[in-house]
Amino acid sequence: MTTQTVTLTGLRAVYGSGNRRVTALDGVTTGFDSGTFTAVMGPSGSGKSTLLHCAAGLDRPAEGVVTVDGVRLDRLGEDDLTRLRRDRIGFVFQAFNLISTLTAAQNVALPLRLAGRGPSDDEATAALAAVGLADRARHRPSELSGGEQQRVAIARALATRPAVVFADEPTGALDSTASHQVLRLLRGLVDGHGQTVVMVTHDPAAAAYADRVLLLADGRLVDELTGPLTTGEIAARITDLAAEPSC
């Protein structure tokens, strides 16, 4: 039986108040099956980052329920939520967000140290080996290419063996070759290790690596494509969506 690692039910997210009030999510219900790769797409301002932040417990929605690994986030206090984020959720950002003064291995080991489980050189080295960077363990971020830095960031996201990895535009700062390397890596984590991955992207070629593409518009889920998907099919659906009047 398939289990859902993350569920979102009736999510509403609102920023500001009065005439500056913006409804960023307007009743989103969906789930992310364990061991699957989902891409979240949609026009700028459609609510993609807000969805990711709410699903990852970085923002609290105004209404609705998020569960991660069977735990309702709205029932957690700030300390328990921080612990759950640290132990059960991996993050990958467009800007890599590595600590410049630490080596690749030290960056990867950081979540383990914060979780009181480290430092374990073996675990950090194994995580770097899994992303093909065992020989770069002692390099600092400035000594690595963008693609290598993002692979270190992925190794860091995996260090605590999270239930889910959320990636916000992970290839946004990379050239095409490095992008495909990072996407193949994410795909391999899903296929080879049953990792659950949820990725926000603007790029149909990146979304083509996913099993499922969710399309958001004006804070609502307006379509869902399931794979195998080609870049062309995804790009065509996005173009159609842009031409449709929003309701």
Ligand X SMILES: Nc1ncnc2c1ncn2[C@@H]1O[C@H](COP(=O)(O)OP(=O)(O)OP(=O)(O)O)[C@@H](O)[C@H]1O
Q: How far is the CB of 3 from ligand X (least distance, A)?
A: 27
Nearest Cα to Cα of residue 148 among 167, 173, 111:
173
Q: How far is the CB of 228 from ligand X (least distance, A)?
A: 25
Task: Rank residues 155 and 207 by Cβ distance to ligand X and give the closer one.
Answer: 207
Q: In which residue are the tokens 């960056």 written?
A: 107
Specify whether the CB–CB gap between 166 and 89 falls below 8 A. yes
Task: Rank residues 9 and 49 by Cβ distance to ligand X and give the closer one.
Answer: 49
Q: How far is the CB of 203 from ligand X (least distance, A)?
A: 11
Task: Rank residues 42 and 147 by Cβ distance to ligand X and give the closer one.
Answer: 42
Distance between CA atoms of residues 222 and 116, nearest Å = 42
The letter for the amino acid at 102 is L
Task: Rank residues 54 and 110 by Cβ distance to ligand X and give the closer one.
Answer: 54
Half-sphere exposure (Cβ direction) of 200: Cα atoms closer than 13 Å: 22
Distance between CA atoms of residues 135 and 32, nearest Å = 34
Q: How far is the CB of 53 from ligand X (least distance, A)?
A: 8
Task: Rank residues 17 and 177 by Cβ distance to ligand X and give the closer one.
Answer: 17
Specify whether the CB–CB gap between 19 and 30 falls below 8 A. no
Nearest Cα to Cα of residue 185 among 172, 164, 171, 200:
171
Q: How far is the CB of 148 from ligand X (least distance, A)?
A: 25
Contact residues for ligand X, defined by CB under 6 A: 15-16, 22, 24, 42, 44-50
Both tokens of 89, joined, read 């959720």
